[in-house]
Amino acid sequence: MKISKFNKQSVFVIAELSANHGNDISVAKETIRAAKRAGADAIKLQTYTADTITLNSKKDDFRIKGTIWQDQYLYDLYKEAYTPWEWHKELFDTAKQEDLLCFSSPFDFSAVDFLEELDCPIYKIASFEITDIPLIKYTASKGKPMIISTGIAEYEDIRLAIETCHSVGNNDITLLKCTSSYPAPIDEAKLTMIPKLAEEFNTNVGLSDHTLGITVPIVSVALGAKVIEKHFILDKSIGGPDASFSLDEIEFTTMVKSVREAELSLGNSDFSLTDKQIKGKDFCRSLYVVENMKKGDVITNDNVKSIRPGYGLHPKFLPEILGKTVNQEVEKGTRFSINLI
């Protein structure tokens, strides 16, 4: 994967700026700095305007229903939430100063063209855009790594999006398991889809998370997530459309720490032991003489037993030595060995 300029074996953690800037570029810049402090590998923007994503219409089709943005009109929501395009260069520059990767989700062709001028290193296709095949094709044609959220996607939607990327020679694709609810109920996370996506589509996989808290991102690591995206806000008092399901700096820092610990806990899938584990074998069972024995005494379950520590003969040999005799006097507490028979 070309995404990370850091350790490619590590989970790539993305802090999603989204609308969490309160329409203040200084807040947006400080949010980027805070994301770096919190341990993120990248900051992600969204590149659209209200006019490039919807219509300024009060028809009922354009009124939001059944979400935390209930009864708002799409145009009004996106006019409040968008990140001004004139900020982008300064935000990209701020991220570069922090040694933080900055990239974006484009929502139309003009956004792709604009981001190309900024040398955007990655493109993210948002959940609700997975059916916009012309946009996916145009974006993928730029040859940058593609991250695609699967929130509202059925199997055929995902297959078609991947085929579209392949059709323009772009094979650097990461699919993110996503539940497109805001916030998303934890019982709808369906994290077992992460390995399923990897198996079915032979891509990198990860998680775009809208649940509250950090449990879901941590669990996703155990299921193979190599990318985790989570909304990030400098301070929830800023408010805004996405504040309720975003993590602040303290919460995000805790998430990153937990994700890194989860990675470490997975280890390697082999039977080799660490030096400490090998030393721990000292405490396993082995055969010891537990009563003083004279030369010629018969070995029984009473005078030779499997006990701790593990310096004596392996316990598997006990049935073979029972009934045999010792060839010398043996003191209680002696490690049993074949040489005593």
pLDDT tens digits for range 15-47? 999 899 999 999 999 999 999 999 999 999 999
Strands of the chain (E only): list them: 12-16, 42-47, 101-106, 123-125, 146-149, 173-178, 204-209, 227-231, 286-289, 304-307
Written as six digits, the tokens of 307 are: 């006990």
Identify whether the C-beta of residue 236 lies closer than 8 Å to the C-beta of residue 248: yes
Written as six digits, the tokens of 210 are: 């809208």
Tell me what pLDDT residue 182 has.
83
The confidence band for 228, taking pLDDT boundaries of 50, 70 and 90, is very high
* Greater pLDDT, 274 or 14: 14
C-alpha pair distances (Å), 209 with each of 14, 177, 254 = 11, 8, 15
Written as six digits, the tokens of 333 are: 């507490």
* Greater pLDDT, 279 or 150: 150
Cα–Cα distance measured from residue 117 to residue 139, given in angstroms and rounded to the nearest whole number: 13
Domain assignments of the chain as residue spans, ordered by start: 12-266, 275-340
pTM of the model: 0.86
Q: Is the pLDDT of residue 136 over 60?
A: yes
Name 304's bridge partners. Answer: 289
The confidence band for 5, taking pLDDT boundaries of 50, 70 and 90, is very low
Tell me what pLDDT residue 271 has.
87
Cα–Cα distance measured from residue 46 to residue 273, given in angstroms and rounded to the nearest whole number: 46
Q: Is the pLDDT of residue 6 over 60?
A: no
Terminal CA-CA length for the chain: 61
Tell me what pLDDT residue 2 has.
45
Count CB atoms within 10 A of the CB of residue 340. Answer: 20
Cα–Cα distance measured from residue 158 to residue 163, given in angstroms and rounded to the nearest whole number: 9
Q: Is the pLDDT of residue 66 over 60?
A: yes
Identify whether the C-beta of residue 183 lies closer than 8 Å to the C-beta of residue 210: yes
Q: Which of 57-61, 214-218, 275-279 has the lowest mean pLDDT?
A: 275-279
Q: Mean pLDDT across the stretch 299-326? A: 97
Q: Mean pLDDT across the stretch 263-277? A: 87
Q: Is the pLDDT of residue 230 over 80?
A: yes
The conformation of residue 297, written as its DSSP 8-state character, comes to P
Identify whether the C-beta of residue 271 lies closer than 8 Å to the C-beta of residue 308: no
Q: Which of 115-119, 168-172, 263-267 has the lowest mean pLDDT?
A: 263-267
Cα 28 to chain centroid, rounded: 24
pLDDT tens digits for range 73-97? 999 988 988 999 999 999 999 999 9
* Greater pLDDT, 242 or 51: 51
The confidence band for 322, taking pLDDT boundaries of 50, 70 and 90, is very high
Mean pLDDT of the chain: 94
Q: Mean pLDDT across the stretch 172-199? A: 94
The confidence band for 279, taking pLDDT boundaries of 50, 70 and 90, is confident
Cα–Cα distance measured from residue 341 to residue 337, given in angstroms and rounded to the nearest whole number: 8
Q: Mean pLDDT across the stretch 251-268? A: 95
Q: What's the CATH code, domain 12-266?
A: 3.20.20.70
Cα–Cα distance measured from residue 73 to residue 174, given in angstroms and rounded to the nearest whole number: 32
Cα–Cα distance measured from residue 141 to residue 260, given in angstroms and rounded to the nearest whole number: 34
Phi-psi region of 23 (alpha: psi -120 to 50; beta: other; left: phi over 0): left
CATH 3.90.1210.10 at 275-340, yes or no: yes
The confidence band for 9, taking pLDDT boundaries of 50, 70 and 90, is low
Tell me what pLDDT residue 240 has.
87
